């Protein structure tokens, strides 16, 4: 009769420690999930880093007015903070995340900056029209438009994408970009800038984010086509395609287990902080990039795009 060999207690404890270490290494972030979209930054742990303490500003956006959709949290908040540090006035638009919007506004005030928070659903033409009107009423002009809002609904098969979700994803991720551009374009002039947030998924695809990836691909084409149209007017149009970034969209989209491993497939084995991404927008919004238009920059942690 065979008997199962027992591990020595000390060996068993070492094996358990090794298992725990292996398990911990696969968890990049604390498991968490939010049952709403958009997600809330004030419910995340750890909180995303919006700007690093050692960031050195150089008045790159002095006296500019920057409009940011989805500027209450995530990448949008980080871009708002960096824009203010660089001397800009900021108008940011949010859906209904009032606590996050208040935090962003208060932080900007503490920086000595000037900003306005505009609550508005941008998934319709009328919503974008109202938002642009509010921005112009406050500041009188706009120099930089940053289209940034997005939603996503992961699914394991294309048949699982409901018509309602599909329409919402395209209305938020693509139509809002078009509508904001249409409403603001008559007010933009030479040397002004339009920046669009796309994604790494537009270039490598995603089997779990098919509709989201399709919208991000549309944004790439929008950016390149619009840049060609507006180059004679001296208006530059570029895009940013981040890789994995620690933002409220992540716990709002994925399960606790998926959130815990989020960023592990990046060559750097971690997600970016919004503070890692925001300087790309500042570069593209400033005169440092005055000979760049129709391009997509890729702050993605080491994935090579061709």
Confidence at residue 11, expressed as pLDDT on a 0 to 100 scale: 34
Confidence at residue 23, expressed as pLDDT on a 0 to 100 scale: 46
Task: Give the residue ranges of DSSP H helices in the chain.
Answer: 9-26, 74-85, 98-110, 125-139, 163-170, 176-184, 201-204, 210-230, 249-253, 256-261, 274-285
- The edge-to-edge listing of strands for the beta sheet with 89-94 is 115-119, 89-94, 65-69, 144-147, 193-197, 236-240, 296-297
Confidence at residue 16, expressed as pLDDT on a 0 to 100 scale: 47
3 state DSSP class of 92: strand
pTM above 0.85, yes or no: yes
* CB 155, CB 75: distance < 8 Å: no
Q: Which of 128, 126, 90 is nearest to 109 (CA)?
A: 90
Confidence at residue 4, expressed as pLDDT on a 0 to 100 scale: 41
For residues 126 and 206, give the distance between their C-alpha atoms in angstroms, rounded to a whole number.
32
Q: At what angle do helices 163-170 and 210-230 cross, to 10 degrees?
A: 30
Token digits of residue 62: 């002095």
Confidence at residue 113, expressed as pLDDT on a 0 to 100 scale: 98
- For the domain made up of 63-297, give the CATH fold: Rossmann fold (3.40.50)
Q: What φ, ψ does residue 191 adopt, rounded to 5°?
A: 80, 0
Catalytic residue numbers?
Answer: 212
* CB 286, CB 58: distance < 8 Å: no
Hey, where are the domains in the chain? 63-297
pLDDT (tens place) for every residue of the chain, 306 residues total: 444 434 343 333 444 434 433 445 558 999 999 998 889 999 999 999 999 999 999 999 999 999 999 999 999 999 999 999 999 999 999 999 999 999 999 999 999 999 999 999 999 999 999 999 999 999 999 999 999 999 999 998 999 999 999 999 999 999 999 999 999 999 999 999 999 999 999 999 999 999 999 999 999 999 999 999 999 999 999 999 999 999 999 999 999 999 999 999 999 999 999 999 999 999 999 999 999 999 999 999 999 987
Confidence at residue 146, expressed as pLDDT on a 0 to 100 scale: 99
Q: Which burial class, exposed, middle or buried, applies to 186 when counting CB atoms under 10 A from its CB (0-12, 13-18, 19+)?
A: exposed
Confidence at residue 25, expressed as pLDDT on a 0 to 100 scale: 53
Query: What are the C-alpha distances in Å from 120 to residues 124, 130, 187, 258?
Result: 10, 8, 20, 30
Q: How far is CA 256 from the centre of its chain?
A: 20
* CB 294, CB 238: distance < 8 Å: yes
Angle ∠(106,108,111) on CA atoms, nearest 5: 115
In b/e form, how buried is each residue of 266-291, taking b as 16+ CB within 10 angstroms? Answer: beeeebbbbbbbbbbbbbbbbeebee
Confidence at residue 38, expressed as pLDDT on a 0 to 100 scale: 86
For residues 82 and 288, give the distance between their C-alpha atoms in angstroms, rounded to a whole number.
15
């Amino acid at each position: 009769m065979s008997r199962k060999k027992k591990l020595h207690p000390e060996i068993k404890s070492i094996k358990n420690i090794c298992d725990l270490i292996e398990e911990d290494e696969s968890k990049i972030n604390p498991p968490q999930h939010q049952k709403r979209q958009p997600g809330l930054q004030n419910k995340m742990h750890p909180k995303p880093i919006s700007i690093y303490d050692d960031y050195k500003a150089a008045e790159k956006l002095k006296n500019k007015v920057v409009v940011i959709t989805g500027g209450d949290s995530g990448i949008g908040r980080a871009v708002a903070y960096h824009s203010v540090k660089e001397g800009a006035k900021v108008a940011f638009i949010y859906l209904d995340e009032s606590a996050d919007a208040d935090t962003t506004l208060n932080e900007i005030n503490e920086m000595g900056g000037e900003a306005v928070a505009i609550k508005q659903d941008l998934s319709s033409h009328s919503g974008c029209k109202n938002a642009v009107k509010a921005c112009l009423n406050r500041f009188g002009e706009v120099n930089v438009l940053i289209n940034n809002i997005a939603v996503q609904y992961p699914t394991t098969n294309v048949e699982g994408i409901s018509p309602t979700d599909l329409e919402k994803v395209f209305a938020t991720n693509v139509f809002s970009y078009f509508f904001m551009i249409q409403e603001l374009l008559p007010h933009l002039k030479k040397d002004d800038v339009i920046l669009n947030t796309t994604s790494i998924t537009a270039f490598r695809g995603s089997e779990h984010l098919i509709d989201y990836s399709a919208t991000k691909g549309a944004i790439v084409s929008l950016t390149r086509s619009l840049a060609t149209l507006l180059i004679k007017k001296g208006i530059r149009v570029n895009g940013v395609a981040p890789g994995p970034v620690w933002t409220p969209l992540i716990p709002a989209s994925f399960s606790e287990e998926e959130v815990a491993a989020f960023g592990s497939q990046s060559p750097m084995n971690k997600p970016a902080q919004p503070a890692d991404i925001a300087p790309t927008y500042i570069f593209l919004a400033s005169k440092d990039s005055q000979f760049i238009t129709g391009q997509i920059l890729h702050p993605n942690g080491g994935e090579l795009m061709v």
